[in-house]
Structure 1
């Protein structure tokens, strides 16, 4: 192999790496999966104010939907890779922000609007709806952060 062939092979490898990274980024947070995940989060958060047989049912359905969408997104990709620490940090920050939004909204629903703790329109339902909308609103920012992380070299820490 002469130096020109070796350089051509390296250029092809870099090109395929860029295509692979673009495929990974393209598959992050697709809109149908985001909406289904938001619905699962809403069911999970809204279940906090339900009575016991319904609380368990709503919690299982919500977490099942959210987890099922996550598994489908993760394992249906044509490109599999192990997430880096920074990618896990983005996921953890997104999760923590949703819990903070849920908690603050629940407190505000009671103190500012006097929404009851139980019933169809309860603090958990209102806070769950706000947390689900926040999730939908934050996914473009999370996608952008993940794109930067993935395109920075190997994206490994």
Structure 2
């Protein structure tokens, strides 16, 4: 094999990897995926305002939505990529930051006398999360063109 052939093969592998990553992100940032994720987040956070046993019972629809989202992903996603350690750490950090923000917002809403502080905090975080995700998606589209 000539060096030019080897370089061409490596370039092709890199092109296909970038193409796969683009499809993976395009599906992950699709409107349907983002809306279901925001709804699960809202339901989970809003459930804190309900008395027992209703607070826990409301989590069943959230779990059903997550399972449905997983099944749809496994059947329809054009590309499936394994979860790497970097992505896992970023996801864990984002989750911890989200819970921290939720705690701060719900405590502030409760101090302000809002009757359903967790629902308000969940709605704010879901809406802001959707806005950020849409902006990231648009930035990736512009950057990829």
60-69 or 78-87, which deviates more:
60-69
CA distance in 2, matches of 1:50, 1:140: 30
- 1:22-101 counterparts in 2 under 5 A? 22-70=22-70, 72-73=72-73, 76-101=76-101
Gaps of 5+ in 1: 117-121, 148-157
TM-score by length of 1: 0.71
TM-score by length of 2: 0.76
- TM-superposed CA distance for 1:95, in Å, is 1.3
Gaps of 5+ in 2: 141-145
Residue in 2 that maps onto 1:115: 114
Aligned length in residues: 139
CA distance in 1, matches of 2:62, 2:114: 23
Q: 1:138 is matched with which residue: 129, 132, 137?
A: 132
CA distance in 2, matches of 1:125, 1:141: 24
Superposition CA RMSD, Å: 2.7
98-107 or 16-25, which deviates more:
16-25
